[in-house]
Homo-oligomer: A and B are copies of this chain.
Amino acid sequence: MSRASDRAYGHIRSMILSGALQPGAQIGEEQLAESCGVSRTPVRDALRRLQAELFVTRNESQRCFVADWSLSDIEDSFELRGMLEAHAAKRAATRINWDQLERLKSCSQAIERAIEGVIPDVPTFLENNRTFHAIILEAAASDRLSNMLGRLVEQPVVLRTALQYDRQNLARSSHEHSELLAAFARRDGPWAHAIMAAHIRRAFHAYADAHASHREDGQQGVAA
């Protein structure tokens, strides 16, 4: 996408994620255009994208609002993501090639290194975790699946919460990655499916636990 449209997209998205634009707040095109330093045209493009990704909703008369995620929305998200990522893992197991497997191993090792120190390197963990899942999706080789999962993994709840991690969660996540590698190496679709389903499910419960203790002081986090 083009420069101005991208800038508007990124800017609005980050304002939503940072809380500068609160859930339920109405957002006018003109106001956003000014705030982004571009005209309404690219803002409208950006809003359409954000709407497709469920960051933004519209009322019956086409006015835009920051999407308000209820707890059940969040659960829905994890549920769908688990289903689709497990499916992707199953497909990937029988289609993955040598290069992709090597890249997965490399990610997995980077993740292990990132969490072995006294102070875990969370940014490195996150980056490689992200790449790990992206490679699996690539190996699954389904445009439609990629299209749909792309809408889920980037959603507010995931980003807003994926900022702080406890040691145990990081280690468990990393261990599940190793298991996935084993399943892929054996080309075992059902195994990969089961591990991935559990992987995402665990992340959901970790999030739910963090949410239940409703500490609003910092960000709680979940590693999937």
Contact = CB atoms under 8 A, between A and B. Distances in A.
A144 B73 contact: yes
Contact of A76 (B52, B79, B143): B143
A76 B144 contact: yes
Contact of A148 (B44, B45, B148): B148
A201 interface: no
Contact of A144 (B62, B80, B87, B142): B80
B87 A147 contact: no
Contact of A48 (B48, B76, B144): B48
A101 interface: no
A158 interface: no
Say whether chain A's binding surface is mostly helix, strand, loop, or mixed.
Answer: helix
A174 to B, nearest CB: 28
A39 to B, nearest CB: 13
Contact of A143 (B73, B79, B87, B143): B73
A79 B76 CA distance: 20
A54 B151 CA distance: 14
A145 interface: yes
What is the interface residue range for chain A against chain B? Answer: 20 to 34
Interface string A150-190: 01100000000000000000000000000000000000000
A167 to B, nearest CB: 32
Given A44-B45, A76-B144, 20 more contacts: A1-B62, A2-B62, A45-B48, A48-B48, A48-B49, A54-B144, A54-B147, A73-B144, A77-B144, A79-B87, A80-B87, A80-B142, A80-B144, A80-B145, A80-B148, A83-B83, A83-B84, A147-B151, A148-B148, A148-B151
Contact of A152 (B2, B77, B144): B144
Contacts of A44: 45
Given A48-B45, A48-B48, A54 B143 contact: yes
